[in-house]
């Protein structure tokens, strides 16, 4: 049998190669593990990294760290206040412009505004009669009162009314009563020249109005609404 020394001599080149391979792998593993596992002879300091310098963005008064910035604090604060104030003014003006344009876009167009008024020829309505017109999608009552109706409604004691209102406060011309034909109870349409007081009667829930459109009996809480109107001449009324 070959002796141990002879065997070591024969295998020596292979052992040397294995030794170098293991050493290289250990050294590579130390690099992957980080500074703690790296050999002491490896330099890990990163001296080529530059520290950020913001000198170009700083004001000249505060660049030198050896000088006090107290003397320039007032001017720097004034500049900051000026910028803040100018920004606020511009922002408020921009917000105002945006809101104005938004509201204007939601307003009624010219053709819709044209329909917001109605012109009525009063000569077509006989005395003692009531005519119904459509205005803004609602019924409009125009009543030509007689002298008897005028005197009756003028003499009513307003302290007895649920919604106290004198007749002269509801009409411009005593001969003409112009009200919206919408019951103030639940929005039904009353019947003209009907009811216990000879004015308007709502059959839905039994509300009675007089010839001035005032609630006199029934569940309705308020008088019939009087829209805005004007008389350009004695024979014409414009509502709206």
- Where do the domains of the chain lie? 115-239
CA distance 29 to 37: 8
Tokens of 173: 């011309």
Average pLDDT over residues 133-150: 93
CA distance 6 to 222: 128
Average pLDDT over residues 66-94: 84
pTM for the whole thing?
0.54
pLDDT tens per residue, range 104-129? 777 766 666 666 788 999 998 999 99
Looking at the domain covering 115-239, what would its CATH class be?
mainly beta
The Cα-based distances of 20 to 11, 27, 29, 109, 130 in angstroms read 15, 11, 14, 93, 120
Q: By three-state DSSP, how is residue 32 classified?
A: helix
Residues known to be catalytic: 205
Q: State which of 110-119, 129-138, 216-225 shows the largest mean pLDDT.
A: 216-225
């Amino acid at each position: 049998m070959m002796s141990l020394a002879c065997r070591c001599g024969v295998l020596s080149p292979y052992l040397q190669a294995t030794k170098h391979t293991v050493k290289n792998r250990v050294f590579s593993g130390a690099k992957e593990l980080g500074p703690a596992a790296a050999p002491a002879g490896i330099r890990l300091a990163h001296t080529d990294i530059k520290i950020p310098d913001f000198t170009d963005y700083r004001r000249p008064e505060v660049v030198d760290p050896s000088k006090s910035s107290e003397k320039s604090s007032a001017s720097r604060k004034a500049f900051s206040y000026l910028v803040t104030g100018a920004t606020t003014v511009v922002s408020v003006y921009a917000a105002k412009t945006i809101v104005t344009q938004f509201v204007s876009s939601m307003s009624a167009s010219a053709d819709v505004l044209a329909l917001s008024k109605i012109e009525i020829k009063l000569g077509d309505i006989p005395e003692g009669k009531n005519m119904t017109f459509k205005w803004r999608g609602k019924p409009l009552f125009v009543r030509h009162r007689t002298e008897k109706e005028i005197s009756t409604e003028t003499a009513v004691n307003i302290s007895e009314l649920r919604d106290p209102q004198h007749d002269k406060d509801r009409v411009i011309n005593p001969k003409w009563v112009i009200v919206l034909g919408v019951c103030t109870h639940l929005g039904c349409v009353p019947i003209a020249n009907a009811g216990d007081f000879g004015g308007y009667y709502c059959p839905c829930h039994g509300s009675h109005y007089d010839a001035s459109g005032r609630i006199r009996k029934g569940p309705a809480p308020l008088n019939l609404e009087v829209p805005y109107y004007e008389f350009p001449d004695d024979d014409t009324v414009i509502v709206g």
